[in-house]
Chains A and B, each alone.
Chain A
Amino acid sequence: MNAQKINSALVSLYLVLFFLFLLGPLLVMAVSAFNTPSYPQVWPIRGVTLNWFVQLFHDKEMLEGLRTSVVIGVSVSILSVAMGLAGALVMTQLFGTSRAYYYFLVVAPVLIPGIVLGIATVVFWRDFTGLLGLRSLLYNGTVLTILAQSSFVSSYCMLIILARLQRFDVSQEEAALDLGASYPQVFRDVLLPYLRPAILSSAMLGFLTSFENYNATTFAILADKTLTTVLASRVRMGSSPVISALATVIVVLTILAALMFEWVKRREQRRQWSREKEARESERLETA
């Protein structure tokens, strides 16, 4: 009994320490965003202010970076879902040695450091766009960053979609064919709706991964600026509570998004439960 008490106390202590470590720094940063001194600090609290948030929303460079980040994020997310989906579908149609070879190639971007991918993209596209005569059009930071990020974000998307695809019941596809659907119709009516949750979550993940990426971006971005690269240069120049304010905004948005996601999930689950309950009910009536 006593040993058990000690045990559970130790577990609680560990959990508290873990989450203190995990959330503490963010909390300290958030507090510093409301403190008046212009060097971000928590203690002593000299006065509460929203000034740093106001400055943040008037910061032209950051807003510009945010816009670029969103443009890149949306493009990467669309491209990566499209390419990752294709990648996953092709995977299910390969067997044996070619499958192993293909698998190795499509997951490799996940296992390669972002900076290597960033560098490779820049050096290749500088010469390649030269060859195509499109350097003025394509050789710019935004395009290169989209390309560099897409290579590994697509792999993430592919892995997510593949996980769901592997649980797909092929007889669904055959049933649609048997009812007279053409292959594109089967794809549109059966496979895509089935993959919808995986596609949505990989699009979401793709956007967020792109949005917060720094390693590949810092090489590929050239003269353009994303929110993270603007942040990086600010942080390098020195500390400012404006940065804390930005982090606070991101944390709050994350919490809201997570809560909303949880709410949607629960609602869906409740619906599913009530359907299953109904099914059991009619089952009971049927066999009675």
Chain B
Amino acid sequence: MNNLGITFVATALMLALFFFLVRYDRHRAVTAQVGFFRRNGALVGTYLVLGVGIWMLFTFIMPMVFMVDLSFHHKLPPSKVGGPEDVYTLDNYRMFLFGSTTSTDSLNWLHLRSFFMTIFISILITLVTFAIAYPLAYYMAQVARMQVLRLLLLLLVIPYWVNDILRAFAFRIVMAENGFLNQFLQGIGLTHGPIDFLGQNIALYVALCYSHLLLMTFPLYNAIEAQDHNQIEAARDLGAPWWHIHLFVVMPHAKPGIASGMTLCFMLTAGAVATPMVLGGPNSLWFTPIVYDRFYQLFDWPQGAAYAIVLLLACIAFVFGVLKLTGLKLGEITK
């Protein structure tokens, strides 16, 4: 069976599982349920089925299944696809681990290091972003007066809709060798020569943090805002020191917001394409450009798919890690 065949079968299985579950739930339901088309009418019912069906099947499930399937194939010219040479293989993953499709002698340090550095730095950036955003979110949610709050929200929205490339570009201007920041630091006599922010990837990390600051701030703000201010006052009256209040009163309550901000921030940082492209120094090896190169330098799509899946697995692991750590459900962090 070819890739598409596999994709259709797997998708059909997922659909079948869904309908089975629906039947099962209906069977267990307490109240008699009105049938779907009776409940919605033929017109709206058809719209709902088509809307969800097209969205899920054609833009999400089938492409994902296809990509997973493709990652277990060799790169072949179109004429040979589906032919006797089109066999399942782990070579693309072996390539990621060992740098060669045949030997397993030495690890593929170049890619592995890049992968783990990306994950590690993304986690660090997520934590730093949280540390920067938390006080502001708390201030806006619990302290600021209405007028101040409106102003702050307005100021926050402005950078939100500037895209990643322009943000990165702004940092390139600010942090270039003869850029504003170096001029400024030398001007006030703090440094003597220019600092190579770009070459040392400092600009990259700062810009990644900058890019996702707001994505961290908004969920945090929403979560902290939902807390009753009296609880915090009560803790303060009881003489709890400020760090204690934040750690044991505010943060547990804001847990879903924290988890959701961190998840978003991590995922977008690890999966960032634009920022590393614009700001990556010569020795930067963010993982996404490597994936990009599989596709548009080597034109080896199966291998690119395998690399993308590796990245996806890391993100899934992170999400599940966060859920496990916080004891939350998926529904609570995607509000």
- A-B complex is real: yes
State the A residues within 8 Å of B (CB): 11, 14-15, 18-19, 21-26, 28-29, 32, 40-43, 82-87, 89-90, 93-99, 101-117, 119-121, 123-125, 127-128, 131, 147-148, 150-151, 154, 159, 163, 182-184, 187, 208, 211-215, 218-219, 228, 231-232, 235-236, 239, 243-244, 246-247, 250-251, 254-255, 258-259, 262
State the B residues within 8 Å of A (CB): 3-4, 7, 17-18, 21-22, 24-25, 28-29, 36, 39-41, 43-44, 47-48, 50-52, 54-56, 58-64, 66-67, 70, 132, 135-136, 139, 143, 150, 154-174, 176, 178-180, 183, 210, 213, 263, 267-268, 270-274, 277-278, 288, 291-292, 295, 301, 304-305, 308-309, 311-312, 315-316, 319, 330-331, 334-335
A137 to B56, CA, bound (A): 22
Contact yes or no, B308 A42, CB < 8 A: no
Residues of A within 8 A of B50 (CB): 86
Residues of A within 8 A of B312 (CB): 112-113, 116
Smallest Cβ distance from A183 to chain B, in angstroms? 3
Residues of B within 8 A of A127 (CB): 3-4, 66
B330 in complex: contacting residue of A28, A40, A90, A107, CB < 8 Å:
A107
Contact yes or no, A111 B263, CB < 8 A: yes
B21 in complex: contacting residue of A82, A101, A212, CB < 8 Å:
A101
A107 to B335, CA, bound (A): 10
Residues of B within 8 A of A259 (CB): 154
Contact yes or no, A183 B40, CB < 8 A: yes
Contact yes or no, B173 A42, CB < 8 A: yes
A214 to B268, CA, bound (A): 11
A259 to B295, CA, bound (A): 42
Known: A112-B315, A250-B166. A86 touches B47 (CB 8 A): yes
A144 to B311, CA, bound (A): 22
Contact yes or no, A184 B166, CB < 8 A: no
Q: 10 A–B contact pairs at CB < 8 A?
A: A25-B210, A26-B162, A29-B174, A96-B21, A98-B22, A103-B331, A106-B56, A108-B60, A109-B60, A113-B312
Contact yes or no, B41 A182, CB < 8 A: yes
Name A's interface SS. Answer: helix
B55 in complex: contacting residue of A124, A125, A154, CB < 8 Å:
A154
Contact yes or no, B136 A18, CB < 8 A: yes
Contact yes or no, A41 B67, CB < 8 A: no
In the complex, what residue of chain A is closest to B41 when comparing beta carbons? A183
Known: A40-B173, A103-B331, A106-B56. A214 touches B164 (CB 8 A): yes
Contact yes or no, A123 B70, CB < 8 A: yes
Contact yes or no, B162 A250, CB < 8 A: yes
A255 in complex: contacting residue of B56, B158, B295, CB < 8 Å:
B158
Contact yes or no, B288 A115, CB < 8 A: yes
Residues of B within 8 A of A147 (CB): 58-59
Residues of B within 8 A of A235 (CB): 165, 168-169, 172, 277-278
Contact yes or no, B21 A114, CB < 8 A: no
